[in-house]
Structure formats: C-alpha cells, structure tokens
Amino acid sequence: MIAEPPSPNANTATSGAPMDDRRILTVTELNSAIRGLLEGRFPFVSVAGEISNLHKPYSGHLYFTLKDSGAQIKAVLFKMQQRYLAQIPKDGAHVVCRGRISVYEPRGDFQLIVDTIDFHGAGVLQQAFEQLKKRLANEGLFDEHLKRSLPPFPAHITLVTSPQGAAVHDFIRIASRRWPALRIAVYPVAVQGEQAATDMVAALHHINALATTEIIVLCRGGGSVEDLHAFNDEQLARAIRASTVPVVSAVGHEIDFTIADFAADLRAPTPSGAAELLTPDSEALLGTIGQIRARLHRIQLTRIDRLQQRLRLARQRLETMPHPLDRLALRIDHLAVRLEHALHAALNARQRRLERAAFALERRCPAHRVELHGQRLNELHTRLAQAAKSQLQAKEEQFGRMASVLQAVGPLATLARGYAIVRTKGGRRRVVTQSNQVRAGETVEVILHKGLLLCRVEHSEQEEKQEGDNQSKTASTS
C-alpha cells in the first residue's frame, strides 16, 4: 500500500487531538472519531491486491473485497466513478485501487472508497513511477526555487493536448468566460500511447522556439495509470524544466499525480481547475476596479474640497491686506539691503581670518624654519672650525716643546755624541752597565746612533781584577 503525503488542508483537529480517556463516549462518537483519524492520516492511498466477492446491487455501485495472501479490506466503487474504468472489474483480477480510507459508521466497518482502478501490471507502473520520481527529486529537478512565476493577466496561452478530448473544450469554455481578452492556441499532440511523450517533448521545443505565448498547459482528462503513463516520461520532465516559457500541468483528476505534475511550474488538479487558476475573473476584476475607481473619486473630491477651502481662506486674507503688493515690495527691498550688508560683513570677516591664517602660516612655513636653522648651522660650523684650528695650533706648540725636551734628555742625543748602548743577546735582552754582567766569549749588541753592531767579548777587566784580588787574599793568609 502506497500512501500519498497528507493534504495541507487536512483537518488536524480530528486526526491529531488527544481524547480524554475519562470521558464516556457513545458508539456514534467513537466511530466518528475513528473515521476522522483514518481520513486525516490516509487522505489518498494506492492499494494493490486481488478482487474477490464482487457484486453490484440495484444502486449500481460496485462492492468487493481487496485481498492479498495475508489480509483483506472491503472496498466500494461508486457508480459515477465507473465511467473512468478501462475495463469491467472481475473476481480474481489483480489491480491497484486508488482512493481514500473511510469508516461506515452505522456498522463500524472501515473500507476503501475507490476512485480509480488500474489493470494489467498497474503495480509495475506504479513502482517505476516512484523510482523515477525519487531519482529526479534527488537531482533537484522538482526544487521549488526552480519554479517560474506565472503572469497574473496572461494574453496568450497554448494548450498542448488532443483537440478531440473533452478537457480542451472545458478549458477553453471556462477561460474564455473568465477572461474574454485571452487568446488560446491548441497544439495538437497524442496524449496517450507510446508516441505521446515524444510528441509532447517536440511540442515544447517548437513552442519555445516560436516565443509567441506566455504559458504552456499540458492538458488531458482523467484515466488509468496506463492512460497517463506518457506524462511519467523522464524526457518530458526534463523538457518541462528546460522550457523558457512557464509550464502548467493539468492532467487527469485531482487524485492523479504524474511526473509532469512535479516538474511543472504549477500543477492544476484538473483542466477546468487550470483554467480557473490561470485566468482572472473579469467580472470580479471589473467589480474591484469599480470599487477602486469610486474610492479614488471620493478621495479626489475630498482633496479638491480641502484645497478650495484653503484657496478661499488665502483669498480672504489677501483681500483684507492694505496694498499687499506695495508692502511686499518694500519688505523685499529692506531684506535685500540687510542681506547685502550681511554678505559684506561676512566677506570682510572671512578676509581678516584669511590674512591672519596666512601670517601664521608664513611663520610656521617649513621653508622659513629651514632657512633659520641653516643660518644657525653655518654659524655653528664657523665656530667649530675656529675652535678646531685653535686647539690644533695649541697642540702643535705643546708637541714642539715636549719634542725639544725629549731630544735634550733622550738617549738619541747621547748616542749622537759617540756613546753606545751595550745589550746582551739572548732570550731576555738586558742593558749591560757593568763588565761582570757578561763573560768572555758571549755575543753582545752594541747600539750606535745609527746602526747596530754584534760583538764577542774577548775578556773582561773586571774578571782579571777579581782574580788578582783573590790571589792577594790567599798569599796574606798563608
């Protein structure tokens, strides 16, 4: 069993409101509440099963049981709905019944009130329909933001339908009555059979290429699932979405749903319903226009009366003024003189402010400040040069005096007079001041005024004198 989504207008008060379990209900009230729950929860369902116990009483309605291997449900098909059947139901036929659940309150039986019966593999077609619907929905083909808006006052509508069907005549009759200015064109196609979907796709492409209409309506009367199978074609759905002209689906009855319904910019329950949805009611519109015109007329009359009253009051005040034009001329002259004086005063004040600002700007001018600092820098440079020159001259004089003193007392002057400095030659050099500081055979350096001599000591007088003293000491002792 396949349930359609609940209608937005379903009565939730009876289907969803909890009941007080302490209240004592009558049987009628209980059955009525159960019926409200079932009809609200299952507004339309498709049920697959086998027909059994089929009988047709004098009323002409068909009563039967729809069953499968595990359960059964009572069903009724009213006489007025039997004209849409593709064939007469029989016991043992496997069908898909589409309708709504209800409760027959006098007996407390719940049953399926059938609107249409689909034969010959209707369940397979329904399954294919659901799979295609789910796949295209996942692609976003049915998203609401893709839907195009329809013109409120269309001037031209094209019906893509079979010209022999009753649906096209119903649409034309209702639309012409509601909106006489509308022009309706019929694009003849097959709406049933294997070629129907291809014909409708070609019609959509051709109408879009012509660009002469404002709305395209796919129009067809009711029928079985097999009859409406052409409107479940994938290519037709994609052609609807690719159309630059808004497309309206008006296929079958209110309970019939096709893929074209979901892909179209608007789904109409029936062709007649599409005519009412797409065309404004000219009589109601004329009535509304008349009301707006009358209201606008009243508003304009009220405004004219108010302006006339203001004009009368102004005229009375003007008539009571003595020589109003002369007084106005004098007042204008007086105001002109005051304005001229005010302008001169403002201009002089601004001129003085400008002069003060120019003087202050000149004092703070960067070029002026740079010039002052440049003069100061030149002065400091001159003073620095003089101070450096004086300091250098004083140092030169001091250096000369110290060089003279150094030359007078230094060893170089002594060496110049013929003296020499003797220094040992070895790891640590020492100046020789006594003969006992060196021995015979040692090499010494002799520093002259100019140059240096390397000399070897042959003998030392101090050693000979010391040896002689030692011998004298020994003789006296003996």
Query: What digits encode the pLDDT tens for the residues 182-196?
Result: 999 999 999 988 899
- Give, in order, the Cα–Cα distances in Å from 266 to each of 21, 251, 262, 301, 310: 45, 11, 8, 44, 55
Give strand pairing partners of 40.
none
User: What dihedral do alpha carbons 91, 82, 275, 177 form, nearest 10°?
Assistant: 170
Q: Where are the alpha helices (DSSP H) in 243-323?
A: 259-263, 271-278, 282-320
Query: Which range (111-125, 216-230, 435-449, 464-478) has the least confidence?
Result: 464-478
In CATH, what number is assigned to the domain containing residue 156? 3.40.50.261
Whether the Cβ atoms of residue 201 and residue 235 lie closer than 8 Å to each other: yes
Using alpha carbons, select from 239, 249, 241 the residue that is nearest to residue 277.
249
pLDDT of residue 467: 59
Residue 181: inside a domain, yes or no?
Answer: yes
Same domain membership, residue 58 and residue 16: yes
Query: What digits encode the pLDDT tens for the residues 102-122?
Result: 888 778 788 898 988 887 655
Last residue of a domain, one of 280, 311, 344: 280
Cα 219 from Cα 167, distance rounded (Å): 7
Query: What digits encode the pLDDT tens for the residues 398-443?
Result: 898 888 887 777 777 777 778 888 888 877 788 888 888 888 888 8
Same domain membership, residue 209 and residue 260: yes
Same domain membership, residue 276 and residue 174: yes
Last residue of a domain, one of 280, 313, 346: 280
Same domain membership, residue 29 and residue 85: yes
Same domain membership, residue 342 and residue 245: no
The beta strands (E) that lie in 302-406 are given as none
For residue 166, the one-letter residue type is A
Tally of domains in the chain? 4
Residue 74: inside a domain, yes or no?
Answer: yes
User: Tokens for 441?
Assistant: 């055979």
Same domain membership, residue 275 and residue 163: yes
pLDDT of residue 12: 40
Query: What digits encode the pLDDT tens for the residues 133-165?
Result: 999 999 999 999 999 999 999 999 999 999 988
Q: Other CB atoms closer than 10 Å to residue 12's CB: what's the count? A: 11
Question: pLDDT exceeding 90 applies to what percent of the chain?
Answer: 40
Last residue of a domain, one of 103, 119, 135: 119
Same domain membership, residue 334 and residue 430: no
In CATH, what number is assigned to the domain containing residue 12? 2.40.50.140
Same domain membership, residue 183 and residue 97: no
Same domain membership, residue 276 and residue 154: yes
Q: 176, exposed or middle or buried, with CB in 10 Å at 0-12, 13-18, 19+?
A: middle
Residue 176: inside a domain, yes or no?
Answer: yes
- This model's pTM is above 0.85: no
Backbone phi and psi for residue 143, each to the nearest 5 degrees, phi listed first: -60, 140
- H/E element, 430: none
Same domain membership, residue 105 and residue 163: no
Between 205 and 120, whose confidence is greater?
205
Q: Which residue has the tokens 């994609």?
A: 238
Angle between helices 234-242 and 196-210 (to 10 degrees): 10
Same domain membership, residue 335 and residue 262: no
- Could you tell me the residue range of the domain that residue 466 belongs to? 421-477
For residue 336, the one-letter residue type is A
Residue 296: inside a domain, yes or no?
Answer: no
Residue 310: inside a domain, yes or no?
Answer: no
Displacement of CA 285 from its chain's centroid (Å): 40
Residue 337: inside a domain, yes or no?
Answer: yes
pLDDT of residue 77: 93
Residue 388: inside a domain, yes or no?
Answer: no
Residue 367: inside a domain, yes or no?
Answer: no
Same domain membership, residue 160 and residue 100: no
Which whole number is the average pLDDT over 339-346?
93
Q: Where are the alpha helices (DSSP H) in 153-195?
A: 166-178
